[in-house]
Amino acid sequence: MTASSENNDLVIVSDLHLGRGRIRGSGRYHALETFFFDDDFLDFCESLVADAEARRMPLTLLFNGDTFDLLRIEPAQVGREAARRERRFGAAVTPEVAAAMVARILEGHPLWVEAVARVLAAGHTVIFLPGNHDVELQWELVRKPVREAVAGVLRRWGVEEGALKRLSFRPWFYHEPGRIWVEHGSQYDPECSFRYPLRAGRMEQWGVEALERDMPLGNFFQRYLYNAFGAITFIVPSTRANSRYLRWLVWNRPALLLRVLSSHGPFSLQLLRRVAMAPGRAAALEEAHRVELERLAMESGLGRVLQEIDGLKHVPPNLAQAARMVALPLVRLAGLALGVGLGVFGLWFAAFGAIHQLQAGLGLKTALFLGLHVAGIGALLGVLGWRLLRAPPVAPPRPLRRAAGRLARLLGVPVVSFGHIHEEVAAPLGSTQVGEAFYFNTGTWISVFAHEPLLPRERIQFSFLRVRGQQAELLHWSPGRGRAVPAILFEEEDSPGGSGIQAA
């Protein structure tokens, strides 16, 4: 949605991943919760309001996707009559189910709701964009519990009803011409993009199965595999991080590996189920996307440019390709195990014969045979362990940064902001018709686990992007100082001219 280029302060946060929060009565958190910072977020919003009042400047607080995590959430009780799959993984996410999820999330985070209400009560604006973990925010039924929760706080404070009108939702992006383009960014990630992301139509037009078929692999892994790991606070934003994730489990939670291994059985069944799905009603979902895209193109004034931007998204593979993406690494690993096994067996057999020919006593031969067995098993496990745990390439792919550069040139904006990857980034994009352009990623407010060597990090940056006029700055909220300070960023060695910067 295009906004007027008015002189307002813009603050962007992303990837809070609110789950069901605290359990009423016990005060404990639900097992899959990752956001434990409601007090800090309330302080953060109060600081934003105080700063806006001091500057006499209107403020727009923008939540750039994955605010609510409808993937990493404990399944609601569905009753014994429900299918086994629903009892384990939860009911299919229809608008009614998603609305109930959001309502439960808000019940578990009352201070976060107060923080949003505080911004509105002070006369400012709040906007929500969807991410790949809360793409359901496009449905009006799912927006309703957010409005109701915030309205309840405003009524309790005696704030006029007009304040709620400053709370809005956008189906895809936020755009101020000549100033900034904001979207979640998952559409440019090969593992997390939807083929038909715009789905504002009625659910009965396409059905649950079509949505399941359009679920990205990243979402699929989160719902059907990672959630089975239980109360680990890391969300793995990319399957490229799997090897590092496995190493972390080996060194920090080895007992949990048994649960990980046991969870692969049900996950594999779900993967086979998806591959075996009938074509479904993809045409209806495609038509809903097309209609909504045309509406947004006309309403935003972007016209064909928006069609071009939609064409920049990564088109996910079909089911056969997706299955190969999952199966090929397993086949390679099995082939490596077979090759190493045959090699080790050959060496073992030769050594066995040599020991047998030795003119030595029974005790020495027994010791040599035992040593041979241990060495053979150790060699096999060592090679397989190296293959599983070896570090990924130093320089990971950067599809979001490439997309940001193309967006800056297409739209003529100096600032492009994404979320999604859970890494704070500030990087130059080159020149556009309005001058130098920059890409910012707002990171996350939760613990992270990614493929970079400095992550997972022990300290959490409550990061956000602040835009004043044409100046954008990546900051993080410091609870100890009670104010925002610059985000911690390092120079990137592989940037042209060494001018790029990357967060730790």
Q: What is the pLDDT of residue 472?
A: 95
Q: Which residues of 458-474 are buried (b: 16+ CB within 10 A; e: fewer)?
A: eebbbbbbbbeeeebeb
Q: What is the pLDDT of residue 214?
A: 85
Q: What is the pLDDT of residue 498?
A: 39
- Which tokens sit at 503? 């967060």
Examine the pLDDT at 319 and tell me if it is beyond 70.
Answer: no
pLDDT digit string (tens) for 35-66? Answer: 999 999 999 999 999 999 999 999 999 999 99
250 versus 495: which is more confidently predicted?
Answer: 250
Going by their DSSP bridges, the two strands 415-418 and 180-183 should be labelled as parallel
Rg of the chain over all Cα atoms, to the nearest angstrom? 26
Domain ranges of the chain: 9-316+397-503, 328-389
Q: What is the pLDDT of residue 228?
A: 74
Give the distance from CA 261 to its chain's centroid.
Answer: 23
Q: Which residues of 157-194 are buried (b: 16+ CB within 10 A; e: fewer)?
A: eebeeebbebbebbbbbbbbbebbbbbbbbbbbbbbbb
The 8-class DSSP code of residue 470 comes to T
Q: What is the pLDDT of residue 394?
A: 45
pLDDT over 70 for what percent of the chain?
A: 66
The whole-angstrom separation of Cα 193 and Cα 174 is 19
Q: What is the pLDDT of residue 211?
A: 83
The whole-angstrom separation of Cα 419 and Cα 417 is 7
pLDDT digit string (tens) for 90-127? Answer: 778 889 999 999 999 999 999 999 999 999 999 999 99
List Cβ neighbours of 138 (8 Å cut-off, separation of 6 or more). Answer: 130, 169, 171, 198, 199, 200
**Sign of the dihedral through C-alpha 398, 404, 410, 414:** negative
Examine the pLDDT at 455 and tell me if it is beyond 50.
Answer: no
The whole-angstrom separation of Cα 35 and Cα 133 is 14
Indicate the range of 11-15, 151-155, 179-183, 384-388 predicted with least confidence.
384-388
Find, among 396, 397, 442, 395, the residue nearest to 415 by Cα.
442
C-beta separation of 21 from 33 below 8 A: yes
Q: What is the pLDDT of residue 329?
A: 59
Q: What is the pLDDT of residue 438?
A: 95
Q: What is the pLDDT of residue 345?
A: 62
Kindly report the pTM of this predicted structure.
0.80
Query: Do you know the residue count of the chain?
Result: 504
Query: Across all residues in the chain, what is the average pLDDT?
Result: 80
357 versus 175: which is more confidently predicted?
Answer: 175
Q: What is the pLDDT of residue 60?
A: 98
- Which tokens sit at 363? 């005790």
pLDDT digit string (tens) for 395-454? Answer: 455 889 999 999 999 999 999 999 998 889 999 998 877 789 999 999 999 876 554 444
- Which tokens sit at 338? 């077979």
C-beta separation of 90 from 32 below 8 A: no
Give the pLDDT band (50/70/90) at residue 282. confident
Indicate the range of 222-231, 308-317, 482-491 predicted with least confidence.
222-231
Q: What is the pLDDT of residue 411?
A: 95
Ramachandran area for residue 207 (φ above 0: left; ψ -120 to 50: alpha; else beta): left
The whole-angstrom separation of Cα 299 and Cα 5 is 16
The 8-class DSSP code of residue 155 comes to H
SS3 127: strand
The whole-angstrom separation of Cα 10 and Cα 58 is 9
201 versus 20: which is more confidently predicted?
Answer: 20
Q: How far apart are the first and last CA of the chain?
A: 32
Q: What is the pLDDT of residue 456?
A: 43
What mean pLDDT comes out for the span 345-349?
63
Q: What is the pLDDT of residue 232?
A: 60
399 versus 456: which is more confidently predicted?
Answer: 399
Going by their DSSP bridges, the two strands 415-418 and 424-432 should be labelled as unpaired
Q: What is the pLDDT of residue 355?
A: 59
Q: What is the pLDDT of residue 501?
A: 44
